Amino acid sequence: AQSVTQLGSHVSVSEGALVLLRCNYSSSVPPYLFWYVQYPNQGLQLLLKYTSAATLVKGINGFEAEFKKSETSFHLTKPSAHMSDAAEYFCAVGEPWGKLQFGAGTQVVVTP
Amino acid sequence: DTAVSQTPKYLVTQMGNDKSIKCEQNLGHDTMYWYKQDSKKFLKIMFSYNNKELIINETVPNRFSPKSPDKAHLNLHINSLELGDSAVYFCASSGGTSGGAVETQYFGPGTRLLVL
């Protein structure tokens, strides 16, 4: 079975500072990896996904993630945090039949 | 136009009652899902349907029964509600054949269920 682990359930960043959210995966086969964002009282929205085409994946809202097989990682970054980035972020791995295994989530708080 | 919609948005009910949550998608997708998000924000898949056929059925109590009248709709019926069923239930859909591990899933806004 595949799984992901998100390090840090809460991250606080200053507006304008780097956002770094960590995700490590466990998979016996090349994984499909996703980052989703959930704004308060809303559903999830895809930020970006890794499908083996390129190790550096660019997503929406200035986010990007780098797949590192040697480290089994897929960390999410954004160079400069904005107040609107405050949300819950989920890393997930895709399994057959569209089954997504989500990490526990990381809540991002942006301070002025 | 809302891509994936759910009704109701909020549902407050007593233990032992039976309730249904409806989901509709207008994206033309073949696959739909139900997820449960608990109070700690943990998300877990419950069911998945592809073209009205059940393809994922996780370890969920028999009190939960999904029904897909057509590929644009996936409803969730819950019998004999228990306190532990309180959660946010999300519907999602994806395109492609049989969902697939690589497909993007589009989520509805969620239904917040509170069992008293």
CB atoms near residue B95 (< 10 Å): 15
* pLDDT tens per residue, range B53-97: 898 888 889 999 999 999 899 999 999 999 999 999 999 999 865
- Over residues A87-99, mean pLDDT: 91
* Residue B45 forms contact with A (CB below 8 Å): yes
Please spell the DSSP secondary structure of A3-46, one letter per residue. Answer: EEEEE-SEEEEETTSPEEEEEEEE-SSPPEEEEEEE-TTS-EEE
Give residue A15's Cα distance to chain centre: 19
B-facing residues of A in 30-89 (CB < 8 A) are: 32, 34, 36, 38, 41-46, 49, 51, 88
Give residue B40's Cα distance to chain centre: 18
Give residue B13's Cα distance to chain centre: 18
> In chain A, what percentage of residues exceed pLDDT 70?
100
* pLDDT tens per residue, range B6-46: 999 999 999 999 999 999 999 999 999 999 999 999 999 99
| pLDDT of A21 above 80 | yes
Q: Round to whole Å and give the CA distance between A55 and B32.
A: 29
* Residue A10 forms contact with B (CB below 8 Å): no
Q: What confidence tier does A6 reach under pLDDT thresholds 50, 70, 90?
A: very high
Mean pLDDT across chain A: 94
| pLDDT of B3 above 70 | yes
A-chain CB neighbours of B110 within 8 Å are 41-43
Considering CB atoms only, which of B92, B101, B107 is closest to A32? B101
